[in-house]
Structure 1
């Protein structure tokens, strides 16, 4: 799925053409007693080509942060840039793709038709992307090759109703990579899958990402998934949503299923769990929520 922003694109002057940069982001919903601070003074730097996961308890603002990068939410204060331009402009140029929890495939098109359609309907976006300094031109992908890497060679001409849940999600991933986005946002795309299927798709996702080097921002509740996939894991604390830790995952790539059993892998799992536990203790569910200076009231 590609994202189209409802608002007019606006350029920014920036020296961050090779990163996703968020500075002092605040997002507040509601007012008065029902006011909820979803994000408070969030700073994020994601370098081009990185695979970054965001993890934290339910309601901590993970999806809000993802929507801020996508240009689907506007911060009440602070700034957000995607490779030197606003998220709105990046969306208008189809630089940002999204893989949601539900694959949202067209039921009347087969697998090949579903993954090929976005590139056909978004041809105008190529001209917009070429005007943006932060966009990197790539050769058009071979969709049959991508489907093969995702384990879908035998399903190319099947309709979505003939696919398992895992195969549908693989199709959604190939579709997203097929439009060659500079940034791919993934919002818990494997949450409905069983553990075995989940680990299999993780491996296929890493194979496709390694070849394309698209910048991926991945929201998850799974510690092991975050460790296996990521170059960096951002740990969030709820109420209000903040980045409380950034953990660089220095495990070598490629990361096979066998790596999940190693002491090195478990070390990073323990580090992230410790950060999650500390963040939870520092942010009890009850209690006052400070409103940062300059935020919308």
Structure 2
């Protein structure tokens, strides 16, 4: 009697030897050069580096919105394109991009009601953990939008619109949530408040998050791991594991332990203008 071979589930976002080039000839620009990344399921990973180093390009590669000129990208064992088609990937851009004619509740509920075929495709992909449909009104209350559910986007502040965009992305219960500097246009107080709310939802849903930021403090507060990228052509030059206990309150930002990781990442950023081998840092 022959025993069936067990199915091996790839539980990582994997980028292997990725190169991305824009243009040709004298105007050619190498955005990414030899990117190798493994992000385990359930981790919160931030990308930080100089402007123009390819952070957003790498995010779009994971999302299947860009194709590598060399190398490959996969999400939990399937191509980025297949993961996107199965609604495994959610994206929160810098601008909320809410539909102006729909209420807040209608905006955040819409993705869960469209493309039902994607739900069936996702169930067939190994490792996917099916959960009960989220209560969108409860998610809105969690981020302080309980009294704004029936309002139109134009009636909300910028911070409130961005909270709605985050709830919308979490509403489809993506296996991976990609966030491209979502808080860059917000004031510091609003930014810190939404960071805490983001961590609350992430902790509850156990989604894998890849987060682009220019803020060292933001990266340290949110992340399990911070990946530092070099100036163009973009490469990952350091990986820093943030060994701080969770939950991470605002009060933690002033502790010596927190400052230690800020200083560590700033040191890596100083040398990120010069390409070098990947280094792994911890406490």
TM-score between the two structures when normalised by the length of structure 2? 0.93
Corresponding pairs, count: 270
Note if 1:114 corresponds to 2:80: no
* Offset at residue 280 of structure 1 (A): 1.6
CA displacement 1:148-194 (0-9 Å, x = unmatched): 11111111111111100000000000000000110000000000000
Q: Which residue number in structure 2 is paired with residue 17 of structure 1?
A: 10
Which of 137, 140, 146 is the equivalent residue of 1:144?
137
Once residues 121 and 282 of structure 1 are traced to their aligned partners in structure 2, the CA distance between those partners, rounded to angstroms, is 44
Determine if the alignment matches structure 1 residue 64 to structure 2 residue 70: no
1:155 aligns with 2:183: no
Counterpart for residue 92 of structure 2: 99
Q: Give SS of 2:47's match.
A: strand
Contact 2:12-2:77 within 8 A present in 1 as well: yes
Query: Distance between the aligned counterparts of 1:106 and 1:154, measured in 2?
Result: 19
Given the alignment, which residue of 244, 247, 251 partners 2:244?
251
Alpha carbons 1:84, 1:134 under 8 Å: kept: no
What is the CA–CA distance in structure 2 between the aligned matches of 1:100 and 1:221, rounded to whole Å? 14
Residue aligning to 1:292: none
**2:147 match: secondary structure:** helix
In structure 2, relative to structure 1, the CA distance for the partners of 1:16 and 1:22 (3 Å cut) is: farther
3-state DSSP of counterpart to 1:153? coil
Aligned residue for 1:208, secondary structure, equals: helix
**Deviation by residue 1:37-85 (Cα, 9 ceiling, x = unmatched):** 1111100011100000000011000000000000011111111110000
After TM superposition, give the deviation of residue 15 of structure 1 in Å: 5.4
2 CA distance for matches of 1:58 and 1:136?
A: 36
Consecutive unaligned residues of structure 2, counting only runs of 5 or more, are 1-6, 277-283
Q: Secondary structure in 2 aligned to 1:234?
A: strand
Q: Give distance in 2, aligned partners of 1:124 and 1:99.
A: 22
* TM-score, structure 1 as length reference: 0.89
Q: Does the aligned pair in 2 maintain the 1:235–1:244 contact within 8 Å?
A: yes
The 3-state SS of whatever aligns with 1:94 is coil
Stretches of structure 1 lacking an aligned partner (at least 5 in a row): 1-13, 284-297
Contact 1:15 1:84 in 2 (8 A): no
Report what 1:8 is aligned to: none
Q: Distance in 1 between matches of 2:229 and 2:255?
A: 26
Displacement of 1:122 in angstroms is: 2.7
Question: 1:107–1:160: 8 Å Cα contact kept in structure 2?
Answer: yes
